Amino acid sequence: MKKIVIVVVSFFLLINKTQAQSEHLEDVIAEVNPAVVSVIADREDEQSLGAGIIISDDGYAVTNAHVTEDADKITVVTIEDESYEAELIGTDAQTDISLLKINRNEPFVSAKFADSEEVRVGNPVFAIGNPFGLGNSVSLGIISAKERDIEKGPYDNFLQTDTAINQGNSGGPLFNDKGEIVGLNTAIFSTDGMDMGVGFATPSNVVAWVVSELKENGKVIRGWLGMSIQKSRSSEAEHKNKLLIASMAEDSPAAQAGLKVGDIIERVGDIPLKNPRYFSYRVSQIKPGEKIEIEVLRDGNSEPITVEVGEKKLSETEKTKKQKGSSFIQASDFPELGFSAYFDEKTQEFVVVEVQKDSEAEAKGIFAGDRFKGVNGYRVFGEEDLKIRIKQAADKGEITLQFIGTETLDTIVLKLEKVDEQN
């Protein structure tokens, strides 16, 4: 009988603990829910819906750039169903972030950023957004992975979550269990445009830095060294898995300082040498004109070299991406395709903007202006979906694209070859 009593007591203790956790989460959600807004972007002949998060009581709010791009008017709607026209302070296409300003006499409820470097896989998180235009909706999950590169942009460092994220959640916050913003929900992997339990959020540290730049300058000013980095494939113990300089722009800050292709990077200020994309992201945060010391291993000797950081300018491809929107693939990313394209949000189709000369794409009759919506029999719903489909198709050695003619759907098959990954 004594054992039964102990089991019953333990059972009730477990119930009480679960109830306490649930009540705590309910209180946290109630506290931050008013800081989440629905975002409506009006264009000449269409309207897009997303979400946003107010980050200061004077009305600054953050959302995704692809929600606000080309908008003639941006309206935010609070949980109390109050509507306000928002001013677009600035946009950064490279991280898909827009900063808005909402004006009213009374202060807003706002949320604070957490330190995303402290986020761990398995941490509980919840998202609040505007799925399918329903208004503030909450979904619960965990952090599934960190530092994901989904090839959406040059500074990919996404948090992955199984929290339900659907169309309309774009630009909404991902919170930790304290009600702090750990990420901005930006993309999903999906075969049909619906949630499949694989969502991606831009880490809060990235969002906070971009916001500070947009507030101060109206744009993001990035540092630039003019060199590309990759992991060393050397089998030598002292070089294995270290970062090395793979290529370098002529007359770049790196070249002018005396750095060389093949140099093994041992230290760059206080930047952790995790991977090439994290390295590029951290370098981009250095203000142009600042000097940093880069220690490299060359011919078996360590050599410190001081470099004055330059300012990164938009390339012609990046300018096209900025004009066409954030969902953009370029031929240099996927040379096996032989063309560049952007995703038309209005028609839900990819539009070819440039075809490489003497490529298989040119030989098979793909032209600038051609549109396609299918890959290997599946609809594609944006840049992330397309890039994942390309990677999947590489194992088969070919990819099938469904192009749209005036009255027909033309199927074109392109051969694929595996390409060594470089960053």
Amino acid occupying residue 26: E
Q: Which of 66, 110, 162, 340 is catalytic?
A: 66
Question: d(Cα 32, Cα 36) in Å, to the nearest integer?
Answer: 7
- 405 Cβ partners below 8 Å, 6+ apart? none
Q: 66 an active-site residue? A: yes
Q: Can you tell me the distance from the alpha carbon of 150 to that of 144, in angstroms, rounded to the nearest whole number?
A: 14
d(CA 135, CA 352): 35
Please check whether residue 259 is in contact with residue 305, taking contact to mean a CB–CB distance below 8 angstroms: yes
Nearest to 399 by CA among 336, 351, 341, 344: 336
Point out which residues pair with 371 in neighbouring strands.
Answer: 351, 404
Name beta bridge partners: 91. 98
**DSSP 3-state of 131:** helix
- The one catalytic residue in 38, 48, 92, 96 is 96
Between CA 305 and CA 296 the distance in angstroms is 8
Q: Cα angle at 404 between 398 and 408, to 5 degrees?
A: 105
Catalytic-labelled residue, pool 48, 98, 110, 170: 170
149 noted as active-site residue: no
One-letter identity of residue 348 = Q
For residue 131, what are the CA distances in angstroms to 119, 166, 209?
25, 6, 27
258: left (phi over 0), alpha (psi -120 to 50) or beta: left
Tokens for 159, please give them.
């948090």
Known catalytic membership, residue 56: no
Beta bridge partners of 101: 60, 87
- Give the count of beta carbons closer than 10 Å to the beta carbon of residue 274: 13
Q: Nearest-CA neighbor of 251 among 230, 228, 226?
A: 226
Taking phi over 0 as left and psi of -120 to 50 as alpha, with beta for the rest, 82 belongs to beta
Q: 12 CB contacts (<8 Å, ≥6 apart)?
A: none
Taking CA 220 as the corner, what is the angle to CA 304 and CA 273, rounded to the nearest 5 degrees? 35
* Residues with a known catalytic role: 66, 96, 170
